Amino acid sequence: RSTPAAIPSIAATRHASTTQTPSEPATAPLPQTSSFPELDTITLDDIAKTADGIDISSIPEGVGYLRQIGLDYGYGPTSMIEWVLEHMHIWGGLPWWGAIAATAVAIRVVTFPLYLKSSDIMARQNALTPITKPITDRMTKAQQEGNTSEVMQAWSQLSTVRKRAGISIPQQFLPIILQGIIGYCGFKIMRAASELPVPGFQTGGFLWLQDLTLTDGYLLMPIIMAGTVHMIVRTGGETGAQTQLPEGMKKVMLWGMPGMICLITAWQPGAVCVWFAASGALGIIQGKALQQPAVRNFFRLAPM
């Protein structure tokens, strides 16, 4: 006899979804840490540190000090100026403003022979104007007419005259180009030292300009710089033998250029102004000296 299969009742059926499991105790949320510091934790002391987190005000001054605090320019004219500046300050015992001025003067002294050569060439060129002007006029006319052969012939004659007179155009403009490079490199390091700032620059000024990292509130240094440029142009340039400029160009150089320099440097740190003012002042003295017959005779320069 067959036994009927037992059918389980619905009440006896259990589903996993209806099973109550004991709840786990809730865990506290992990504290969220942010790598970005709170604004109220930033202080001025943090700013006066190098990229390595070292307080630059605690680093003693010495040769290599400027590189140590972050003003490293490798090798070149900028690093050369930096080297001279440090030695003027450390070995010479000069305040920072005096070291800046002395560096500008020292570099002027080193480049002085180039100005002597340029002054001699310009004097020779001015003396040859009665000979070279007809040639240049003929060359200009030939260029306007498109006569290439005449242009080449005139240029050959002009080159021969210059060679016999010992005139070299590259040597004539070399000191101007070199001074431009040196001026820019000095500007770069003085501005960088002011923006860092080098701690000594904040107290290494003079008289009304005690902080070399700030602009001159009295605008005296920009005015002095504009005055030096005006006097250099008026006295014949730094070689003392500058050729006569056209009237319109002369007005621009006498008044427009100094005005523009005054306006630009009014927003520059005091260290930059000291750098250019010292170099410009020596340029005036140099130009006036090279106009004196006794000086030209001493250095065996062509008379003006």
The model's pLDDT over 213-231, given as tens digits with 9 standing for 90+, comes to 999 889 999 999 999 989 8
239 by DSSP, 3-state: which?
A: coil
The model's pLDDT over 269-278, given as tens digits with 9 standing for 90+, comes to 999 999 999 9
**Cα dihedral sign, 275-276-279-282:** negative
Establish if 11 belongs to a structural domain.
no
State the residue for tokens 């006498």. 254
Establish if 5 belongs to a structural domain.
no
Counting the structural domains of the chain, the total is 1
Q: What is the model's pTM?
A: 0.75
Establish if 281 belongs to a structural domain.
yes
* pLDDT at res. 260: 92
- The CA-to-CA distance between both ends of the chain, in Å, stands at 147
State the residue for tokens 């001026």. 183
Mean pLDDT to the nearest integer, 244-261: 82
Do the beta carbons of residue 221 and residue 268 sit within 8 Å?
no
Question: What values do phi and psi take at 85, rounded to 5?
Answer: -60, -45
Establish if 16 belongs to a structural domain.
no
Establish if 220 belongs to a structural domain.
yes
Lowest pLDDT segment from 16-20, 120-124, 242-246: 16-20
Using pLDDT thresholds of 50, 70 and 90, give the confidence band for residue 251.
confident
Establish if 130 belongs to a structural domain.
yes
* pLDDT at res. 69: 83
Do the beta carbons of residue 213 and residue 202 sit within 8 Å?
yes
Establish if 107 belongs to a structural domain.
yes
Establish if 283 belongs to a structural domain.
yes
Crossing angle of the two packed helices 169-195 and 96-127, in degrees rounded to 10: 160
Tell me how far apart the alpha carbons of residues 300 and 21 are, in angstroms, rounded to a whole number: 110
Tell me how far apart the alpha carbons of residues 299 and 302 are, in angstroms, rounded to a whole number: 9
* Residues spanned by the domain of 175: 77-299
The model's pLDDT over 39-85, given as tens digits with 9 standing for 90+, comes to 555 454 554 455 455 677 667 677 888 888 888 888 889 999 999 99
Mean pLDDT to the nearest integer, 13-30: 49
